Amino acid sequence: MGCGGGNPKPAGGGEAPQPAPAGGSLAGREWSLTSLGGAPAEAGNGGKPATLTFSDADNRVSGFAGCNRLAGTYQAKGDSLRIGPLALTRMACPSGMELETKFGAALDAARSYRITGNRLDLMGETGVVASLEAK
């Protein structure tokens, strides 16, 4: 991918910024969903945003999908990213189910990622499928 943040280059390095490498840049932060497919993301149940947290130690991902909690695995190499399989709790919520369905589809479609500052873009075959912000 041609855009990215990643580790800053030394002054005078002359190299264009590269996508953040997988692993440490994804992990250690909670990412909150800000948009899906280019449209602002709605809030989930209780007014909470969908979230993701990545763990380098065991390649696990967890979070809030809009109604239910999610947990599963991920594989990252370079800027390539595959999320899943995922398991979700099975609560019935008065709101957030539509968000959960769309967020799950975006996670399934993600094939790569790009980090720019505090923003994480999950990229599918045709472009950005979801954007999240580190909190």
Q: What pLDDT was estimated at residue 135?
A: 80
Examine residue 42 and state whether it is found in any structural domain, yes or no. Answer: yes
Q: What pTM was computed for the model?
A: 0.78
Q: What pLDDT was estimated at residue 50?
A: 96
Q: What pLDDT was estimated at residue 96?
A: 87
Examine residue 77 and state whether it is found in any structural domain, yes or no. Answer: yes
89: closest CA among 101, 71, 76?
A: 71
Q: What pLDDT was estimated at residue 7?
A: 38
Q: What pLDDT was estimated at residue 73?
A: 95
| Number of domains observed in the structure of the chain | 1
Q: What pLDDT was estimated at residue 67?
A: 93
List the chain residues with pLDDT less than 70.
1-24
CA 122 – CA 1 distance, rounded (Å): 12
Q: What pLDDT was estimated at residue 28?
A: 85
H-only helix segments in 1-135: 97-109
Q: What pLDDT was estimated at residue 22?
A: 39
Q: How many residues does the structure list for the chain?
A: 135
Residue 84, domain CATH: 2.40.128.270
Residue 121 domain boundaries? 30-134
Examine residue 40 and state whether it is found in any structural domain, yes or no. Answer: yes
Examine residue 2 and state whether it is found in any structural domain, yes or no. Answer: no
Examine residue 68 and state whether it is found in any structural domain, yes or no. Answer: yes
Q: What pLDDT was estimated at residue 9?
A: 36
- The token pair at 16 is 């264009």
Examine residue 10 and state whether it is found in any structural domain, yes or no. Answer: no
Q: How many CA atoms lie within 13 A of 133 on its CB side?
A: 6
* DSSP at 48: P
Contact 54, 41 (CB under 8 A): no
Examine residue 5 and state whether it is found in any structural domain, yes or no. Answer: no
Examine residue 23 and state whether it is found in any structural domain, yes or no. Answer: no
- The two most distant CA atoms of the chain are separated, in Å, by 55
CA 74 – CA 115 distance, rounded (Å): 16
